[in-house]
Structure 1
Amino acid sequence: MAALAAFTLLAPTAAACSGSDDGGVPVINVYYAPEENFQKVVDDCNQEAQGKYRIDYQVLPRGADDQRVQMVRRLAAEDDGMDVLGLDVTWTAEFASAKWIKEWTGAEKDEASKGTLEQPLESATYEGKLYAAPKNTNTQLLWYRSDLVPNPPKTWDEMIKMSQDLKSQGKPYEIDTMGAQYEGLVVLYNNMVASDGGKILNDDGNKVEFDDGAVKALATLQKFASAGVTNPSFTNTQEDDARLQFQGGSGAFQLNYPFVWPALQEGAPDLKDKVKWARYPGIDANTPSKVTIGGYNLAVSAYTKHPEESFAAALCLRSPEHQLFSAINDGVPPTIESVYSDPQMDKAYPFKADILAQVKDGANRPITPAYQNVSTVLSATLSPPADIRPEQDAKDLRGSIQDALESKGVLP
């Protein structure tokens, strides 16, 4: 989400009232996050439709919570003016469980699944059924100063030790990443859980598990936050804050999304040739890390008056050629594997092989209709990270997360 936002310009919120059909041509209202060049994709799809339908891009608010609130309230009212919905990957289960979105079946399902990477496809699936078409994905990489660190660390322990050594030498040493009490902190923790083979929920997503791997991840996060290697503003840091801290010259390492690369080329000419990238650090040196994927999926509203045209429009918007365009122009990594092989990706994504490897071996956040509740509970308990008490907090979370799963309340 943050990576997407970092590549966009300020955009107005979605219209309160959607357009109506124009001269017999169905109008397909696509509610999607601000993305600077998405209108060009919409225009291309309208041309390809040859009058069968016309897509109108309804720009959602910038903030993910505001996006969700707007869509949930209108869907709860069975608003038939919403057709295609851009869903954060964590919302699919909630919207499907509430029966707000249609299942993808038949030829549409085959087309949406063809060549799509496994983890993004899993994020669009609920109870074994496909409810959305993955449009773009995302993953964090390790960005490091090659003039300070010739060889990047493979584990958290190794990275912390390198940072402490640099600090003792009076050199830039910080590990800049997201530590504020919000979704970014949950992602940081989930990376550690997944990399250690742990589980927060069971495979069905209906019962808390919080196994040894989840407890060990609490200890890893606490050790990192209390090792004296973070920025003084760590507990208030979100994605763009971490980018600016690193660009300011105090960081030796940054854990963040690919949007930092073009920003570095433009905003830090003294640093850009010194910065390299590597796979996100893991827990064990012999076990590759597993990094939480992000991104957006395209779903079709259960209340659309034009389901056939809505499925066609969604498929066009996330086609291989349009995923390539959005990747190059808006910095959102593709979900279709073949797009990574296109030569045009080489310049825009010199790190494309690392992104692809991490997404193929990535991790989803817990898939549950109650994810918003689970995330809120986790971020509150994890903040501030330096105060984590692994065993006690694990015990508390087993209870509070189960309560969150059983919550019957849905935002109206």
Structure 2
Amino acid sequence: MLVSISRVLKRLNRLIGNPLEWTSSAKAMLLGALTCLMYLQYALWGELLLRFNESVYWLDTEHVIAQLPYFYALSLCSFFLTILPPILNKMFGDSYLYEYGATLYFGLSLSYFSFQIGTLSLPVGAVLVGAPVVGFIFFNRKAVVLALLLSLAIQVILSLGSACNFWGYAPMFDANTEWGNAPTPFKVFQMYFFTLPYMIVLISISYLVLRRWRDREEKVRHLSVTDPLTGLFNRRSILLHLEQEQFRSRNKGPVMSLLMVDLDHFKLINDEKGHEAGDYALIAAADALQKCLRQNDRVGRYGGEEFLIILPGTNLEGAKYIAERCRQQLEKTNVVLSNGGQIKLTGSFGLICNEGNVHMQVDELLRRVDKALYLAKHQGRNQIVSVDLVS
């Protein structure tokens, strides 16, 4: 039994991956799913209490009946928040704005529920302290801080408003019972006076510690996926991106194109100018290629003087345009050496698009684009040779 559970957990872990490396849209989708389940739980709990309204004397049944449609509406909104981020990601690419939207929605909608059950109740306090700590680990820190400050301000306003009789306190409960008794202004002041310092200290320490930890994790992750010389993705990382993009293209969306670039006469540069000059040439080539690419394109050092460029959502004609732009940019690049010498760069390009066969394996894509690169070098270098799978 334990072995079976362990296997299931291992498979689940492989499927989910590292949550800290999820895209912003995936994190927003997770928060949307969690809030959807939470709000559905609140609605169903309200339905259950109404069935036993005679024994739950402390419940304001009329108010609960009036609020149930809002509970279900928020559940529905949360469901749409779950399915919307991946759609937007597919249309516009990934963005931290998804995390801002998800955390703000979480904080503001929970403020509504905190008003219903009482802003000074135990569940509200647990969420106010616990949610930011988890949020600092998982989400963009600025998004969490913004949602926390806004939610906390709303909690204070709601508490003081109830104390000053501008509106009721915990309207889900009967005002004639202890559950629905509104606090006095002094009680509100006293609660926040003794609670806020601990909240500030706890959240501040958590923020600082988790920020250090996340920064260190980010540095380690960056080193593991980055080529130390050029700052591009390393071979392992760019191949992983290629696997992911080919999987996405095969199962969900538009075609993708792949460019393989080889610096011309690089061995001659190393032999005649030295390895330091070769390093300068690689760095300059990496900068030149990056200038020509779009936000969602990926470029990595494939090995030696070879670079691999992934062009998501790009057909063959669009990829030819980008490849020509890269070729011209390389051709205009002059590498100035410390001794005053100069190196002119050019590159040969192999290009393939999976438009004619989206089910092609990554190994086969690489083999064919490598063959196209070989033809470009064999035919005189500084040119682009493409593979057309459609015709």
Give TM-score scaled by structure 1 length. 0.21
TM-score normalised by length of structure 2: 0.22
Of structures 1 and 2, the larger Rg is shown by 2
Greater helix content: 2
